[in-house]
Amino acid sequence: MRVLVVEDDPSLGATLRLGLAAEGFEVDVATTVADAIAASQRSAFRLALVDVNLPDGSGFALCPRLKDRGLLVVMLTARGDVSDRVHGFELGADDYIPKPFAFEELVARLRAVARRTGEERLPVLSFADVEVHLERQLALRGGHPLDLTRREYDLLCYFLRNQGRVVTREQILDRVWGYDAEVTNGVLDVYVSYLRRKLEAFGPRVIHTVRGFGYALRNEESGDAQA
The DSSP-derived string for 28-96 is EEE-SHHHHHHHHHHS--SEEEE-SEETTEEHHHHHHHHHHTT-EEEEEES---HHHHHHHHHTT-SEE
Contact between residue 58 and residue 26 where contact means Cβ atoms under 8 Å apart: no
Query: How would you classify the pairing of strands 47-50 and 2-6?
Result: parallel
Q: 124-217 sits in which CATH class?
A: mainly alpha
Q: Which CATH architecture has domain 2-116?
A: 3-Layer(aba) Sandwich (3.40)
Contact between residue 217 and residue 207 where contact means Cβ atoms under 8 Å apart: yes
- The tens place of each residue's pLDDT in the chain, 227 residues long, gives 889 999 999 999 999 998 998 888 889 999 999 999 998 888 778 899 999 999 999 999 999 989 888 889 999 888 768 888 888 899 899 999 988 889 999 999 998 888 876 544 556 788 999 999 877 789 999 999 999 998 899 899 889 888 888 999 888 887 787 655 566 778 889 999 999 999 999 999 999 999 988 999 988 654 444 44
Q: What residues does CATH 1.10.10.10 cover in the chain?
A: 124-217
Nearest to 197 by CA among 149, 158, 162: 149
How far apart are alpha carbons 63 and 76 in whole angstroms? 12
Question: Rounded to two decimals, what is the model's pTM?
Answer: 0.57
Q: What residues does CATH 3.40.50.2300 cover in the chain?
A: 2-116
